[in-house]
C-alpha cells in the first residue's frame, strides 16, 4: 500500500497555496533559479561589485495601508511580513533602529516588533524607543518585542529555570481580551524563548499563560499596545493567522485588501519614469523571477526591452525551446537566443569539482552575455529579478543604494558595464511573484516552474566530468520524473523534484545479461523558501512507474534510488 503523500498546510490568510516545513533553525537558502544574469553571474566572481548611479526604491503608494515590522534579529522576522501580506495588508521589514522620521513618512497603520536573540536586561540589548510609542499607532510585540515592552514599561522579565522551545499549550484567561477574543480557551502555539514575562506592566491586562510562561500575552488597549510571547507567524501556531488578522483589521483598522497583483500598475509607472526613452536589457532564464521582471518592463516600455537568453546546453529537456516559443513567439518580446552549449562543454572539460564548475559556467556566461549586450545600442538599463528576500538578506532596508552586492545581483559583470538597475520585483516575495506572473498571463508552465540552479544539470552530474553523454542520460531521466510527478498532480506541491546522476557504475541484470551502468537518484522535497526542506513522501506507485521507465527508456542506467535526506543536514542540491 502506498504511503499517503504528505501535503503542506496553509495559513487561513494565504493568497496562494504554499509549501512549508517546520524544520529547525533556518540556514541560508541555496541559489535557486536558472541561468539568468542575476542568478548565475555572481558565481563567476563572488567578490566583485557593480556600481550603478541609481536604483529605484519604490515606496508603497501613498493610499496603500501598511503595517511595518521592526526587525530585532529574530529568525522568523521575514516570515512575519510574509504572513501579514497573506492577510491582505502590505508589510515591509525595517531595522529596529530605523529613524522615527522615516516611519512617520511611511504613515503605517501599525507596527510589529519582532523577536530577537537578545535579553532585554543585558548590556547592549536593542532598546524600546519611547518615540515609537509617541506615534500613537497600535504596536504588537512578538517574543522579544513583547519582552521589550514589558521590561521598559515596568513589568517583570527574567530568565526562566527552563526554556520554552517548540510546541506549547496556550491557555486563555477569561475571554482573551481584544487581541485573543473568540479563540479556543486551550490551543497549541509555537514558542522559542528562555526569558519569560512574570508580571505585566501597569495598565496591561494579562491575556494568556503557557506551559512555562505565566504571562504569554497581554494588552493595554488604552495605549494600543499588545504583546504575545508565542509566534503567530509560524505554521505550528494554528490560530496565529487569526491573531495577526485581529491586530490588522480590528485593532490597526486596515480595510483595504492588498494583493501582489496590485503592484503591477505602480511598477509599470515607476519603470517608465526611470527608463524614459532609453533601452533596457534583461538576462532571461525562463525562471519565474526573470520572466516576471521582463514582462513588467515589457509592459512599460515595449520593444525598447531586449531579453538575452544564454542557453548553456545544461537545461532540462526541451526547456530552451519552450523559453523561445513562449517569449518570442507568444508574448512578442525582443529575444536574443544564444546557443552556447558547445562553448560551455569545452570549458568544462576535465572539471569535476562542484565549485570549479560553478565558476567556469559563471565566467563563460558573462562572456557570452557581455558580448551580446555590447551589440545593443543605447542600452542603459539592466533588468534584474531581485526579490524582497534578497534585499533583506543583503542587509538592505528599502533605501536607494548605489552599490549592488554580488551575491544576489550581477556581481560577476565586467567593471566597465556601467548600467542602471531596474528591479521591479524588489518589494515582493517568491510566492507573490508567482501571483504577479499569473496576472500578467505568463504561461502556467513558467509561473509554477520549480527552482532550477543557475549551472543547470552540470551540478546534478556529481563526482565526475560533465559530458554530453551524461547530460543526455540525466536529461531523459529527469524528463520522465517530471512527467510522472505532473501526471500525479503533485508538481505544485513540491518545492523541487529532479534526478541526480552520480558518476559511478553499478552491476545489474538486463536482458539476461550482466550490465554495468549508472544509477539515477530521485530527489524530491517540500519547502517554503529553501531555508529548510523535508524530503517528500512520494507515493510508491509513482516511484515504481518512474523507476521502471527510467531503467527501460534511458540507455546506460540500471538502478534508481531515492534520496530521503532533509535540509538540514543535507542540502537540496547535491553539489
Instruction: Give the pLDDT of residue 512.
Output: 67
- What is the Cα–Cα distance from 219 to 222, expressed in whole angstroms? 9
**pLDDT tens readout for residues 371-384:** 998 888 888 999 99
User: Is the CB of residue 216 less than 8 Å from the CB of residue 210?
Assistant: yes
- Model confidence over 423-441: pLDDT tens digits? 999 888 888 999 999 999 9
Q: Is 472 inside a domain boundary?
A: yes
The residue among 544, 498, 488 whose CA lies nearest residue 521 is: 498
Residue range 225-258, pLDDT digits in tens: 999 989 999 888 988 999 999 999 999 999 988 8
Joined together, the cell numbers standing for residue 574 give 547535491
Percent of the chain with pLDDT over 90: 57
Query: Within this chain, do residues 205 and 118 fall inside the same structural domain, yes or no?
Result: yes
Q: Which of 313, 300, 316 is nearest to 339 (CA)?
A: 313
Per-residue pLDDT tens digits for 143-156: 999 999 999 999 98
- In the set 96, 151, 231, 298, the catalytic residue is 231
* CATH code, domain carrying 183: 3.40.50.880
Q: Is residue 5 part of a domain?
A: no
The reply to whether 381 falls in a domain is yes
Q: Is residue 575 part of a domain?
A: no
Mean pLDDT of 129-141: 92
Residues 466 and 367 reside in one and the same domain: no
Based on the domain organization, do 356 and 294 belong to the same domain?
Answer: yes
Residues 105, 232, single domain; the answer is yes
6 in any annotated domain: no
In which domain, by residue range, is 112 found? 66-251
307-348: pLDDT as tens digits = 999 999 999 999 999 999 999 888 889 999 999 999 999 999
Q: 438 and 291 share a domain?
A: yes
Same structural domain for residues 441 and 496? no
Judge whether 233 counts as a catalytic residue: yes
Residues 115 and 206 in one domain: yes
pLDDT in tens, 29-57: 444 344 444 444 333 333 323 333 333 33
Would strands 66-71 and 420-422 be described as parallel, antiparallel, or unpaired? Answer: unpaired
- Give residue-wise pLDDT tens across range 462-483: 999 999 999 999 999 999 999 9
SS (H, E, C) 490-509: CHHHCCEEEEEEECCCEEEE
Residues 435 and 546 in one domain: no
Asked whether residue 520 is domain-assigned, the answer is: yes
Of 447, 472, 488, which marks where a domain is finished?
447
Q: Are residues 317 and 438 in the same domain?
A: yes
Give mean pLDDT, residues 196-203.
Answer: 91
Residues 331 and 286 in one domain: yes
User: How many separate domains does the chain show?
Assistant: 3
Domain boundary among 190, 219, 251: 251
Active-site residue, selected from the candidate residues 164, 212, 219, 233: 233
Residue 258 φ/ψ, nearest 5 degrees: -75, 145
Are 231 and 286 part of one and the same domain? no
Check whether 458 has a pLDDT greater than 50: yes
143 noted as active-site residue: yes
Residues 45 and 73 in one domain: no
Q: Check pLDDT > 60 for residue 10.
A: no
- pLDDT confidence tier of residue 495, bands split at 50, 70 and 90: very high
The predicted model scores a pTM of: 0.73
End-to-end CA distance of the chain: 34
Determine which helix (DSSP H) or strand (DSSP E) holds 130, and give its type and residue range: helix 130-134
SS3 (DSSP) at 354? helix
Q: Which residue has the cell 518580446?
A: 333
Q: Is residue 107 part of a domain?
A: yes
Asked whether residue 427 is domain-assigned, the answer is yes
**CATH label of the domain that carries residue 304:** 3.40.50.620
Among 447, 477, 505, where does a domain finish?
447
**Residue written as grid cell 551502468:** 517
Single out the catalytic residue among 143, 218, 307, 554. 143
Amino acid at each position: 500500500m502506498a504511503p499517503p503523500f504528505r501535503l503542506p498546510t496553509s495559513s487561513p490568510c494565504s493568497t496562494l497555496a504554499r509549501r512549508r516545513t517546520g524544520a529547525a533553525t533556518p540556514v541560508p537558502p541555496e541559489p535557486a533559479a536558472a541561468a539568468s544574469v542575476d542568478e548565475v553571474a555572481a558565481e563567476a566572481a563572488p567578490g566583485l561589485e557593480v556600481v550603478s548611479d541609481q536604483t529605484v526604491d519604490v515606496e508603497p503608494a501613498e493610499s496603500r495601508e501598511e503595517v511595518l515590522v521592526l526587525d530585532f534579529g529574530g529568525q522568523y522576522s521575514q516570515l512575519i511580513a510574509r504572513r501579514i501580506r497573506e492577510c491582505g495588508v502590505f508589510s515591509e521589514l525595517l531595522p529596529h533602529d530605523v529613524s522615527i522620521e522615516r516611519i512617520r513618512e511611511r504613515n503605517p497603520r501599525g507596527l510589529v516588533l519582532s523577536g530577537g536573540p537578545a535579553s532585554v536586561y543585558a548590556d547592549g540589548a536593542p532598546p524600546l524607543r519611547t518615540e515609537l510609542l509617541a506615534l500613537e499607532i497600535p504596536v504588537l510585540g512578538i517574543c522579544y518585542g513583547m519582552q521589550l515592552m514589558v521590561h521598559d514599561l515596568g513589568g517583570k522579565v527574567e530568565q526562566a529555570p527552563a526554556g520554552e522551545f517548540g510546541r506549547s499549550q496556550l491557555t486563555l484567561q477569561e475571554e482573551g481580551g481584544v487581541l485573543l477574543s473568540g479563540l479556543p480557551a486551550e490551543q497549541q502555539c509555537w514558542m522559542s524563548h528562555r526569558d519569560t514575562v512574570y508580571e505585566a506592566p501597569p495598565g496591561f491586562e494579562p491575556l494568556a499563560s503557557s506551559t512555562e510562561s505565566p504571562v504569554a500575552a497581554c494588552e493595554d488597549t488604552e495605549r494600543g499596545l499588545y504583546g504575545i510571547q508565542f509566534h503567530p507567524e509560524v505554521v505550528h501556531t494554528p490560530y496565529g493567522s487569526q491573531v495577526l488578522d485581529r491586530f490588522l483589521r480590528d485593532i490597526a483598522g486596515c480595510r483595504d485588501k492588498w494583493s501582489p497583483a496590485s503592484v503591477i500598475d505602480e511598477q509599470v509607472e515607476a519603470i517608465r519614469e526611470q527608463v524614459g526613452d532609453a533601452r533596457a536589457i534583461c538576462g532571461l532564464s525562463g525562471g519565474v523571477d526573470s520572466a516576471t521582471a521582463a514582462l513588467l518592463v515589457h509592459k512599460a516600455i515595449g520593444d525598447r526591452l531586449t531579453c538575452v537568453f544564454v542557453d548553456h546546453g545544461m537545461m532540462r529537456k526541451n526547456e530552451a525551446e519552450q523559453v523561445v516559443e513562449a517569449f518570442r513567439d507568444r508574448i512578442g518580446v525582443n529575444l536574443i537566443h544564444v546557443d552556447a552549449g558547445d562553448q560551455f562543454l569545452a570549458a568544462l572539460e576535465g572539471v569535476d569539482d562542484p565549485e570549479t564548475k560553478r565558476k567556469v559556467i559563471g565566467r563563460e556566461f558573462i562572456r557570452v552575455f557581455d558580448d551580446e549586450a555590447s551589440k545593443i545600442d543605447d542600452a542603459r538599463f539592466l533588468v534584474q529579478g531581485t526579490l524582497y528576500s534578497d534585499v533583506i538578506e543583503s542587509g538592505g532596508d528599502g533605501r536607494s543604494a548605489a552599490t549592488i552586492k554580488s551575491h544576489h545581483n550581477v556581481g560577476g559583470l565586467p567593471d566597465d558595464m556601467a548600467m542602471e538597475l531596474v528591479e521591479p520585483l524588489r518589494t515582493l516575495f517568491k510566492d507573490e511573484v508567482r501571483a504577479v506572473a499569473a496576472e500578467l498571463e505568463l504561461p502556467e508552465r513558467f509561473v509554477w516552474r520549480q527552482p532550477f540552479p543557475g549551472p543547470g544539470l552540470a551540478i546534478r552530474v556529481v563526482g565526475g566530468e560533465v559530458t554530453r553523454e551524461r547530460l543526455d542520460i540525466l536529461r531523459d531521466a529527469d524528463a520522465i520524473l517530471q512527467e510522472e510527478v505532473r501526471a500525479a498532480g503533485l508538481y505544485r506541491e513540491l518545492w523541487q523534484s529532479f534526478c541526480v546522476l552520480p558518476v559511478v557504475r553499478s552491476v545489474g541484470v538486463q536482458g539476461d545479461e550482466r550490465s554495468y551502468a549508472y544509477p539515477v537518484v530521485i530527489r524530491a522535497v517540500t519547502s517554503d523558501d529553501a531555508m529548510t526542506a523535508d524530503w517528500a513522501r512520494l507515493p510508491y506507485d509513482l516511484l515504481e512507474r518512474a523507476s521502471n521507465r527510467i531503467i527501460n527508456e534511458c540507455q546506460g542506467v540500471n538502478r534508481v534510488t531515492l534520496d530521503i535526506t532533509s535540509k538540514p543536514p543535507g542540502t537540496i542540491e547535491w553539489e
